Amino acid sequence: MIAAGLGKRRRSTRRLRLWFDREPAGGYHAGMPDRLRITRCRILTPFADIPDGEVVFEEERITGVGPAGKGEAAAATTLDAEGRVAVPGLIDLHLQGAGGCDVLDGTPQALDTIARTCARHGVTGFLATTVFRPEGDNRHLPVAAAACRPERQPPDGADCLGIHLEGPFIAPEKRGMIQPDCLGPVREEVLTELLRLCGGALRMMTLAPELPGALEMVRRLAAQDVVASFGHSAADYVQTVAGLKAGIRHATHLWNAMSPLHHREPGPVPALLERRDVILQVIPDGVHLHPAILRLLAGLLGPERVVLITDGLQALGLEDGRYTYNRQPIVVSGGTARSLAGTLVGTTLGMNRLIQRYQGFTGCALAAAVRAASFNPACVLGIQKRTGSLESGKRADLALLNPDFTVWKTWKKGRLIYEQPAA
């Protein structure tokens, strides 16, 4: 329950644009469409925890956030949140599929289904995460790239913010469920081809820095404004440090598909933890990382350096059972997916549920768990000035959570994109 899992409310030093930063009444443009005023909600901005607040937005922008009764009362439409929790629209940097569809399906309909399923879980933006086949069929990539265009964003679903490629420059022994035909040596011509196929939509690439040529690839990706993320790697401590010096500032599903921590062979994890400018993805289902490890990470990293991801598959939002991933059978139990051989593949839990689990396992403030699923991923993508937190002037991307962490309503750019069906 949200009410039972609040923890201590810590005061943030970050200055927010709340009611006292707003324009006076005369600053609103006459003749604009009616504003929506959401009242009687607990607001996690996530830098402030406002127990009885209200949010006002007009068209696509938030125009006021703050304690109830402190701002302008006039609004054409008022929505009583009845004590629910208002959070920024959630952002998933690692989503391969949802609602029965996969990015690999390679159809606009599949991307739309994924986007609509995201909205059910409070997500307003995601990276379409997939693979590149150096010698195979990659028709899914132009389709995913097209889904990122503003005119192609579904009116009733989350925005596809770009493409995240896992590979092809990863270690074969750490490939997990990524198939061998999706791997290849680091070559300039391969990067040229995948950039062409992604049509400017590639935002993140997971790669192994120990591979020959990988460090120069990290620099090339940075020049293309692509986030180079450490992952699916057999790198040791020294090789990881070299990757960080080359420009890696992110890591894909920490501890999964990388060498373990050992007191004489530290591996990559200490190197990633040491760099205070590195933000780390975690899958907080309690299976990919033991709850004790999640607690350790929360204490070491604080609220600034954790990004929650679903590593979601086609079965995200569906019941447990048997499904496929990249032509391979998988079994989902308790929201966690495994291959028939037992290899972990990802989750089918929505981001709202993973916020609940992360807060429950770590005991962190709920605002910190929300931040890890909203503002922090926005920072990784460099879009934190327009979304990722509830502040005046930002996009009206937000969700209202019920006491059981289900989603009551989700808005994207001020448009209602999901509403929980009436009981």
- Catalytic amino acids? 311
Distance CA 312, CA 352 (A): 13
Name the token pair of 345: 């593949």
Task: Find out whether 231 and 206 touch, Cβ atoms under 8 Å.
Answer: yes
Amino acid at 62: I
Q: What angle do CA 29, 34, 36 make, to 5 degrees?
A: 115
Q: DSSP readout, 73-116?
A: ---SEEEE-TTPEEEEPEEEEEE-EETTEEGGG--HHHHHHHHH
Question: For the chain, what is the total number of helices (H) and then of strands (E)?
Answer: 10, 22
Cis previous bond, 51, omega within 30: no
Distance CA 58, CA 419 (A): 19
Q: What is the CA radius of gyration of the chain?
A: 21
Name the token pair of 355: 């916020």
Distance CA 25, CA 159 (A): 32
DSSP label at residue 364: -
Distance CA 194, CA 134 (A): 9
Q: Residue for token digits 């629910």?
A: 84
Give just the sign of the alpha carbon dihedral 312, 313, 317, 322.
Answer: negative
